Structure 1
Amino acid sequence: MNLLLIMADEHRRDAMGCAGHPVVRTPHLDALAAGGVRYTSAYCTSPLCVPSRASFASGRYVHETGCWDNAAPYKGQPVSWGRLLKENGVDVTTIGKLDFDGTHDHGFDDARFPAYRKEHSGGGAFDRHPPKPAARGKERLADSGTGSFWTERVERETSEAIYFLMNEVPHKSRPWVLWLNYLPPHFPLIAPEPYSRLYPEEKVDMPFDLPAADRHPVVQQMREYYNMTDLDESTVRRARSAYYGLCTLIDDQVGRVMAALEASGQADNTLIVYTSDHGDQLGDHELWWKGSMYETSVGVPLLVSGPAIEPGIVDDTPVSLVDLSATILDMFGIEAPSGWRGTSLLKLMEQPDPERAVFSEYHAHGASTGLFMIRRGPLKLVHYEGFEPELFHLEEDPQELRSLSREPEWQTARTELEHALAAIADTAAVDLAARSDQSLRREQREERKRQ
């Protein structure tokens, strides 16, 4: 068995035709979903690039990796599944963005066009108490529209993947993994032609909950940090149009790569996975990009297809990217190290667990305190360290417009979720650890500036 893993960046869970989106078209992802399982409740472990990818690589939660923010890239510890697979005779190749620290041994030796992240380089990571306003928030959206910003990069990565499948795979004598990473639909929201013309602005849907009814102080802090309120309708429509165009751009790349896999003769012996490192809020709840615990930010697409996977399944079980990490080890018969989080999706397919809980956390720019999420069944608790929590019933309120945290009839459920959260993380201690580490790194950065 082999693995083709395709990971986009900032692709929100609902932005696919197969997810019922009213505007965006993704025929190749729809076909992939029809041939396997689409998870409707998949989550990242942190709605931010570096922490999410470090967690996925190591199978651990963010507070266990210490990769709190975009200025703390993964350095190879805890050990990555890339290293474990190599030690067990599986060839691993990555193409595209990793967001790791390239000066350390992260375990993914065959990394092509990896787009590494420098330590101490994550804007805003050290300025959380209180958050300093982000630079060029509105300007970034105003720049959305048509252009060739992503064209060369995406074509390079797709061509490399096709070359790998057509010219290298046929000569391999060992199982292999190809982890293909695309940056779009990550901002800047600039779509090349013809994708920039696919979704006319006047036909693009507008964000929901705009202006936002929920004024939770931490979420409101994020809105003020990005300075993305009071946007004109034309800018909002243009940005959403470009985002949808980038989603279809990536869908077309998936189609090209899938065709190459079929031509390689390995399609019948390869598990195929499509996902993203986090979502994008696109103006919903008066928020853009990521960083919150709303579904639009913390939710990710997750499609799994391949041999022995029953087609046409829509699975509502809450799952996480660390479950995907566990799946990668499981499919190659590798025992997970002690402390490894997550449960293999292959095992969950055989023994469903509808009451399982998934967890996410956020400790980075825009938020002066730690954010923690636990989802179990239809209920989701968002814990803001030092502030009132929020509780949502996602079946009755999928857009998360009404918190139930103060409703008397929901206090038992709230308490149960708070206990489940406490079993995963001591939120106060984790928040303090993140703050302390960021303060230390800020001091180190300032010291280097003085030298």
Structure 2
Amino acid sequence: MADQSRQPNVIVFFTDQQRWDTTGAHGNPLGLTPNFDRMAAGGTHLYHSFTCQPVCGPARSVFQTGLYPTTTGCYRNKIPLPEGSRTLAHYFNDAGYQTGYIGKWHLADENPVPESGRGGYRYWLAANALERTSDSYDAVVFDNDNARVKLPGYRADALTDAAIRFIDREKEQPFFLFLSFLEPHHQNHRDDYPSPDVYRDAFTGRWTPPDLTALGGNSAQHLGGYYGMVKRLDEALGRVCDAVKSLGLAEDTIILFTSDHGCHFKTRNGEYKRSCHESSIRVPTAVVGPGFDSRGQVRELVSLIDLAPTLLDAAGIEVPEQMQGRSIMPLLRRESGEWRDDVYVQISEEGIGRAIRTKRWKYAVASVDGAKDAPSADVYEERFLYDLQADPYELTNLIGYESHRDAATAMKERLLRRIAEAGEAPATIIPAESRRASGQRRVSEAEVRA
């Protein structure tokens, strides 16, 4: 039975570039994620979960601070988290927790990361850009003293071993552990998805998501390795859960699984993310532990920016007013039936873009001047409109169609409101050039608001 006098431990199991549809809970038929699927079934499954910036550094800044990238200033990679930023570690430190960070950080501008750039985490076994210091069977990180540490084993296993050692060492006091993997992100220097050797060819050609079947990209080359990495990550998740259970901590420990963004395998632009599409922005998310067990599947739309306030709230720590996300705990406790019906996405590096997604519609804009190195733009132009009810894999762009002008207008109004709510400067959105779709019906007003 859980110790009601003890603050719950919190473990974040954070993967990199993992699509939501790699999981059995989202229909993947390959049996890659039995441990995640069990979490989703027995805990809380955030079925519609999205990043609010589909690129590594900005997404991580959101999770650590509960603020949009344009608020922290980390609106693209290679911008370090400003000194003085309040992170999850600071709030958990203040509440008497031991805090630890293991794995990929990507919120500094150097390796190894000096203590001032570690976001307040007291225990440190990490690297800034892990893909640049290590390889699949060459896991290299740095400790609290910035000494180089080579961990034995496949990289995901090596980091998991380190996490289990931390959990065992700190089990007598409340702890907050952020375990951040590189997998299933590609190994940059050779553009490869290196799975464990045992899975190297196990999943090649087995199953391809419909968007990749239609659009191709380089999925035929890389999807098998990607799936092998996902399989090993799920095994690592099972090992963490087993360690927690064996130490008698299961009923006192919250475990959150999620990812920073997805992967579209060069179908939407020249690389793997940085687009408004589901393949870039939708991620698998599930939580178990005190306050989350047996809460079932949550169908409301939840953003990465909501996870920091949720974890603080679940641990009994006051959520700072400046956080721009919302805790989902009142939603789970049925204390409030109110929840926003859209998520807001900022896009950088591939270009300056903004997007909004409701349960039915996806609408996205991009800066008119093609600028890339700025936090936002004054003027955008319409780029994408998808009816996710009729076209869940986003294969037909409806932007500019006369039949969908009302839908685009309604989504434009929503997007401008969310830009303002995020604290960005007012912007202008130029309508797309009008197109007439042969045989396309007109969308009713009721459908526009759906």
**Would you say same fold, with TM above 0.5?**
yes
Q: Which residue number in structure 2 is paired with residue 265 of structure 1? A: 248
Equivalents in 1 of 2:212, 2:202: separation in Å? 25
Deviations 1:179-200 (A, max 9, x none): 111110010201122121321x
Q: Which amino acid aligns with 2:186?
A: F
Taking the TM superposition and a 5 Å limit, the aligned residue runs for 1:44-443 are: 44-101=51-108, 102-103=113-114, 104-117=116-129, 148=137, 151-169=153-171, 171-172=172-173, 175-188=174-187, 189-199=193-203, 201-205=204-208, 208=211, 212=215, 236-285=219-268, 288-311=271-294, 313-349=296-332, 350=334, 351-353=336-338, 355-364=340-349, 367=350, 369-386=351-368, 387-425=381-419
Measure how far apart 1:111 and its partner are.
4.0
Matched to 1:86, the amino acid is N
Instruction: Give the deviation of 1:261 after TM superposition.
Output: 0.4
Q: Secondary structure at the match of 1:268?
A: helix
Change (3 A) 1:287 1:303: farther
Deviations 1:332-374 (A, max 9, x none): 333333331111121222234464321111221xx2x311111
Cα 1:393–1:78 change in 2 (3 A) is farther
Q: 1:77 to 1:374 in 2, by over 3 A?
A: farther
- Residue 385 to residue 29, structure 1, CA distance change in 2 (3 Å): same
Contact 1:96–1:181 (8 Å) recurs in 2 = yes
The ranges of structure 1 where at least 4 consecutive aligned residues each deviate by more than 6 angstroms after the TM superposition are 427-432
* Offset, 1:95: 1.3
CA 1:147–1:360: 2 relative to 1, 3 Å: closer
Cα pair 1:383 1:389 within 8 Å, conserved = yes
Q: 1:342 aligns to what SS in structure 2?
A: coil
Q: Is the 8 A contact 1:42 1:319 kept in 2?
A: yes
CA–CA separation in structure 2 for the residues paired with 1:157 and 1:274: 15
Q: Secondary structure at the match of 1:161?
A: helix
Greater mean deviation of Cα atoms: 237-246 or 155-164: 155-164
What is the rounded CA distance, in whole Å, between the counterparts of 1:407 and 1:114 in structure 2? 49
8 Å CA contact 1:26, 1:247 repeated in 2: yes
Q: Secondary structure at the match of 2:200?
A: helix
Q: 1 CA distance for matches of 2:38 and 2:175? A: 23
Whole-angstrom CA distance in 2 between matches of 1:161 and 1:147 = 18
Distance in 2, matches of 1:276 and 1:306, equals 19
Paired with 1:55 and 1:74, the residues of 2 have a C-alpha distance of 10
CA contact (8 A) 2:342 2:357 kept: yes
Q: Distance in 1 between matches of 2:415 and 2:259?
A: 24
Q: Distance in 2 between matches of 1:373 and 1:242?
A: 30
Contact kept, 8 Å, 2:205 with 2:220, in 1: the verdict is yes
- 1:40 is paired with a residue whose SS is strand
- In structure 2, the CA distance between the partners of 1:322 and 1:409, relative to structure 1 (3 Å rule), is same
Aligned partners of 2:137 and 2:155 also within 8 Å: no
Q: Which moved more, 1:406-415 or 1:242-251?
A: 406-415
Structure 2 match to 1:5: 12
One-letter amino acid matched to 1:178: L
Contact kept in structure 2, 1:357 and 1:374, CA below 8 Å: yes
Q: Is the 8 A contact 1:149 1:190 kept in 2?
A: no
Aligned residues of 2:55 and 2:274 also touching (Cα < 8 A): yes
| Letter of the 1:43 counterpart | F
Distance 1:33 1:330, change over 3 A: same
Structure 2: segments with no counterpart, 5+ residues: 1-7, 140-152, 188-192, 369-380, 428-450
Given the superposition, is the C-alpha separation of residues 389 and 329 from structure 1 closer, same or farther in structure 2, using an over 3 Å criterion?
A: same
Per mean C-alpha deviation after superposition, the further-off stretch among 403-412 and 379-388 is 403-412
Taking a change above 3 Å as real, the CA distance of residues 331 and 202 of structure 1, as seen in their structure-2 partners, is: closer
Residues 343 and 279 of structure 1: is their aligned pair in 2 closer, same or farther, counting only changes over 3 Å? same
Backbone CA RMSD of aligned residues: 2.9
- Give the letter for the 2:416 counterpart: A
Contact 1:53 1:99 (8 Å CA) reproduced? yes
Question: TM-score, structure 2 length as denominator?
Answer: 0.77
CA contact (8 A) 1:355 1:376 kept: no
- Report the Cα distance in structure 1 between the residues aligned to 2:423 and 2:313, rounded to whole angstroms: 33
SS in structure 2 at match of 1:257: helix
Query: Secondary structure of the residue that 1:203 maps to in structure 2?
Result: coil
- Structure number with greater CO (CA < 8 Å, separation at least 6) is 1
* Equivalent position SS for 1:290: coil
CA distance in 2, matches of 1:416, 1:90: 46
Shift of 1:286: 6.9
More strand by share: 2
Larger relative helix fraction:
1
Report the TM-score when normalising by structure 1.
0.77
SS in 2 for 1:422: helix
Instruction: Provide the C-alpha distance between the structure 2 equivalents of 1:430 and 1:159, rounded to a whole number of angstroms.
Output: 46
Deviations 1:159-184 (A, max 9, x none): 11111222321x22xx3211111110
Q: Distance in 2 between matches of 1:431 and 1:117?
A: 34
Question: 1:13-32 maps to which residues of 2 (within 5 A)?
Answer: 13-23=20-30, 25-32=32-39
Q: 1:320·1:358 contact (CA, 8 Å) conserved in 2?
A: yes
List gaps (5 residues or longer) in structure 1: 123-145, 213-227, 433-451
TM-aligned CA distance change 1:15 to 1:326, over 3 Å = same
Indicate how the Cα distance of structure 1 residues 31 and 310 shifts in structure 2: closer, same or farther if over 3 A, else same.
Answer: same
The Cα offsets for residues 11-58 of structure 1, whole Å up to 9 and x where unpaired, read as 111111121113352111111111112222211121110011011111
For the residue of structure 1 that corresponds to 2:92, the secondary structure is: helix
SS of 2:313 mapped into structure 1: helix
Aligned counterparts of 2:306 and 2:207: Cα–Cα separation in 1: 34
Q: Name 1:139's counterpart in structure 2.
A: none
